[in-house]
């Protein structure tokens, strides 16, 4: 149990003992014995052969030993040792045993040395007592022989230890622990600062996750009624909605061991590694039960089996998945081990993984609504230095429809950077509005070179969008239009649409007509069209296709849908309808778009003078707002009830660009304008 574990922490200041110090000490001992063994510490004084001949002629030499025919050791008589000239030799020999030589020297040529000694013996009537001996340093020879092998083995051990600790990195790392789990363990000894207080919004998801944590803390509360611990919970939702953050909060709140890893941590270049790591992971979790396992991006190993496996090379991932299925709910059931997984691709997961008994709960983490965005803003605004009474979270939440939690965090950070760039001491409302513009549309490029003709075309294009959207009942009213280049866009428009949970055909048709207003304006004013409506056409085509093939809103095709919620249709090479139906679908999509295009042309032709007036104002000011449209067109003819749920939403627009696509003729202009979220300035 986790409670039984020691709470002792290692002192970071205390140096760790390494086994390599032992290896180094052994090597030093060998080297010391080799260099200082034998007579190393009692080494006699060095003299020259001429000094030896002088001492021999004076009768000071008692005995001479020739070692290995190279070195001569000289022993003095007791009388000679009393002489002052020989006193320094005896003084240095502090480890002398009394029988150690007094001097030594290299003899050079043995034959010449013997001849010189014989001559001196005859001339001075002395005896050198010359003897010859052979000595061998067996320890040194053994050391020299074994040293290369010792070095090779030592280097190999060092490299293997580094690899086993992950120091080598990559696929070669952890060569000895290749089948071990890479999960990070968080327990009561680990300081995890994230808690449920840091998770704003996501009330439904937090409630379900908190229940799991509570079950682990107080299992008897549920088991007393006959309930069983859930096996797992799957967090599903778009990127940036807070799935991983929710898991971090669980790790901070739960007082049980928490194993965290990614789905890609199971994947390795070696066969069988993934399944081995799954077994090891659940083994560790079971040893520390009750515990929680969190697998982020589980779609890396949980993809549906048998799909897109044309070469048969994907068996390793399937083996890993099979082992995971067995561990979660098989004969070897792991009790008190809960698996929490997160993915934004739930449609590609294997159905066996999704069933009850493995992932009992599927928690959908959706994009935040108005109230949730307000709560998220309150969390991210706390660390910022704000202008007093200027930032209203309700207003900021309305300015960021469709933003995820990660996007809102990015907005707050970008606002702080913009304020710092301006030299402000605090972050204000305008900084946040500029931050939303910056994130959605990109940085303004006021120095971009645009010819007068292009600028005029952009102005009429954007004015066409504004006019059509203002004149249609279900189209979103315009708030702001600019022809200042921003990012890859040469113009942008911001709208304030009402929030809808269901959309009717007339609403979709009005939106399509407004999107085609830019190209229609070019046709009405210049009697020419350009590549400037690329993104508009893309948006409209997708909308028309959805009406016909997904939502069943076309009379000719009927109440049919070819939408596959399982997400497996991408693996099919055949269409789910016949060639005749395909022709009908193409025809109906074309008719829908063309009818709305003609409708836009008719509206703009009727209001050509007002369109021209609006475009001239836009050319003059570069930015126009809702008030300018009211001055020209008057109040909108459609009285709508304003709701507190009305939010500013992004609208994709188009304006001419100076880049040439590969399929466009030379000199033609192509544009792909990205839309921007509405900013009510």
**DSSP-based three-state secondary structure for 83:** coil
**Is the predicted pLDDT of residue 265 greater than 60, yes or no?**
yes
CATH superfamily, region 182-303+315-362? P-loop containing nucleotide triphosphate hydrolases (3.40.50.300)
Q: Does 462 qualify as catalytic in the annotation?
A: yes
How far apart (Å, rounded) are the C-alpha atoms in residues 144 and 262? 51
Q: Which residues are annotated as a binding site for ATP?
A: 237-244
State the Rg of the chain over Cα: 44
For 81, the token pair is 């040792």
User: Which pLDDT tens digit goes with each residue over 160-194?
Assistant: 776 655 443 444 444 555 656 666 776 666 666 77
Q: Which residues are annotated as a binding site for Zn(2+)?
A: 461, 465, 536
Residues of the chain with CATH 3.40.1690.20: 43-89+97-137
Looking at residue 10, its pLDDT comes to 44
Q: What per-residue confidence (pLDDT) applies to 651?
A: 37
- How does pLDDT run across 343-365, given as a tens digit for each residue? 988 888 888 888 888 888 888 88
Q: Which has more confidence, 197 or 496?
A: 197
Binding-site residue positions:
237-244, 461, 465, 536
Q: Residue 18 — pLDDT band, cuts 50, 70, 90?
A: low
Report the DSSP beta bridge partners of residue 71. 67, 106
| Section 38-43 average pLDDT | 53
Mean residue pLDDT across the chain = 76
Which of 17-21, 41-45, 140-144, 431-435 has the least mean pLDDT?
Answer: 17-21
DSSP summary character for residue 675: P
**CA dihedral sign of residues 378, 384, 385, 391:** negative
Q: Say which CATH topology domain 43-89+97-137 has.
A: name from scop (3.40.1690)
Please measure the distance between the N-terminal and C-terminal CA atoms of the chain and give it in whole angstroms: 59
| DSSP structure string for 414-482 | HHHHHHHHHT-SSB-HHHHHHHHHHHHH--B-TT----HHHHHHHHHHHHHHHHHHHHSSSSPPEEEEE
Local structure of 294: helix, strand or coil = strand
CATH 3.40.50.300 in the chain, residue ranges: 182-303+315-362
pLDDT of 430 > 60? The answer is: yes
Distance CA 398, CA 374 (A): 9
User: Residue 155: left (phi > 0), alpha (psi -120 to 50), or beta?
Assistant: alpha
Instruction: Express as a percent the part of the chain with pLDDT over 70.
Output: 76
Q: Please enumerate in sequence order all residues whose Cβ is within 8 A of that of 53, keeping only pairs 6 or more positions apart, or say none.
A: 116, 117, 120
Considering the segment(s) 381-439 as one domain, its CATH architecture is Orthogonal Bundle (1.10)
- For residue 143, the SS3 value is helix
Q: Write the CATH number of the domain with boundaries 450-631.
A: 1.20.58.760
> Does the predicted model carry a pTM greater than 0.75?
no
pLDDT tens for 93-138 read: 444 445 778 888 888 788 888 888 888 888 888 887 888 887 776 6
Instruction: Please list, in sequence order, all residues whose beta carbon lies within 8 angstroms of the beta carbon of residue 350, skipping any fewer than 6 positions away.
Output: 302, 303, 304, 305, 321, 325
Domain with CATH 1.20.58.760 in the chain: 450-631
Reply yes or no on whether the pLDDT at 666 is more than 60: no
In the chain, CATH 1.10.8.60 covers 381-439
Catalytic residue among 316, 327, 414, 462: 462
pLDDT of the residue at 416 = 92
């Amino acid at each position: 149990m986790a409670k039984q574990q020691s709470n002792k922490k290692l002192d970071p200041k205390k140096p760790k003992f390494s086994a390599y110090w032992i290896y180094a000490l052994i090597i030093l001992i060998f080297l010391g014995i080799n260099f200082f063994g034998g007579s190393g510490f009692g080494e006699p004084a060095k003299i020259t052969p001429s000094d030896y001949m002088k001492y021999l002629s004076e009768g000071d030499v008692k005995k001479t030993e020739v070692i290995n025919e190279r070195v001569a050791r000289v022993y003095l008589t007791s009388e000679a040792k009393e002489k002052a000239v020989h006193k320094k030799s005896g003084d240095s020999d502090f480890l002398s045993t009394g029988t150690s030589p007094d001097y030594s020297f290299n003899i050079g040529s043995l034959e010449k040395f013997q001849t010189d000694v014989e001559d001196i013996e005859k001339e001075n009537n002395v005896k050198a007592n010359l003897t010859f001996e052979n000595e061998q340093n067996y320890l040194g020879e053994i050391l020299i022989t074994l040293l290369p092998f010792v070095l090779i083995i030592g280097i190999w051990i060092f490299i293997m230890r580094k690899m086993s600790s992950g120091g080598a990195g990559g696929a070669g790392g952890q060569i000895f622990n290749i089948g071990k789990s890479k999960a990070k363990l968080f327990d009561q000894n680990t300081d995890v600062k994230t808690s449920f207080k840091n998770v704003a919004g996501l009330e439904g998801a937090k409630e379900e996750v908190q229940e799991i944590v509570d079950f682990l803390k107080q299992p008897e509360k549920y088991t007393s009624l006959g309930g069983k611990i859930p096996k797992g919970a799957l967090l599903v939702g778009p990127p940036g909605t807070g799935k991983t953050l929710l898991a971090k909060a669980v790790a901070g709140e739960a007082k049980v061991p928490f194993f965290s890893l990614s789905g890609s941590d199971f994947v390795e270049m070696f066969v069988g590694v993934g399944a081995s790591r799954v077994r090891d992971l659940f083994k560790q979790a079971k040893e520390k039960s009750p515990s929680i396992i969190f697998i982020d991006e589980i779609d890396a190993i949980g993809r549906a089996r048998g799909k897109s496996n044309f070469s048969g090379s994907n068996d390793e991932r399937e083996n890993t998945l099979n082992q995971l299925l067995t561990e979660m709910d098989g004969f070897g059931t792991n009790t008190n081990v809960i698996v929490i997984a997160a993915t934004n691709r739930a449609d590609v997961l294997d159905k066996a993984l999704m069933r009850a008994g493995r992932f009992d709960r599927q928690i959908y983490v959706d994009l935040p609504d108005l109230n949730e965005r307000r709560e998220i803003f309150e969390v991210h605004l706390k660390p910022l230095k704000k202008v007093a009474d200027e930032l209203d979270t309700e207003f900021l939440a309305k300015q960021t429809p469709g933003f995820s939690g990660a996007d809102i965090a990015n907005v707050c950070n970008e606002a702080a950077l913009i304020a710092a760039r301006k030299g402000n001491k605090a972050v204000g409302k305008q900084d946040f509005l500029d931050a939303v513009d910056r994130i959605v549309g990109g940085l303004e490029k006021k120095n971009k070179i645009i010819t007068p003709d292009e600028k005029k075309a952009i102005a009429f294009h954007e004015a066409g969008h504004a006019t059509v959207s203002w004149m249609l009942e279900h189209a979103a009213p315009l708030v702001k239009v600019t022809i200042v280049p921003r990012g890859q866009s040469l113009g942008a428009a911001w709208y304030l649409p009402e929030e809808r949970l269901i959309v009717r055909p007339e609403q979709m048709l009005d939106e399509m007509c407004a999107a085609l207003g830019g190209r229609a304006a070019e046709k009405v004013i210049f009697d020419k069209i350009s590549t400037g409506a690329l993104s508009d056409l893309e948006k409209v085509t997708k909308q028309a296709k959805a009406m016909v093939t997904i939502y069943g809103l076309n009379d000719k095709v009927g109440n049919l849908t070819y939408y596959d919620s399982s997400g497996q249709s991408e693996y099919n090479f055949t269409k789910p309808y016949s060639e005749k139906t395909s022709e009908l679908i193409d025809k109906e999509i074309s008719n829908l778009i063309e009818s709305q295009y003609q409708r836009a042309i008719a509206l703009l032709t009727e209001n050509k003078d007002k369109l021209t007036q609006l475009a001239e104002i836009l050319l003059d000011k570069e930015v126009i707002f809702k008030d300018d449209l009211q001055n020209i067109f008057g109040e909108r003819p459609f009285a709508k009830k304003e709701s507190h749920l009305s939010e500013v939403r992004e609208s994709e627009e188009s304006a001419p660009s100076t880049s040439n696509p590969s399929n466009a003729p030379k000199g033609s202009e192509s544009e792909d304008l990205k839309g921007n979220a509405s900013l009510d300035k």
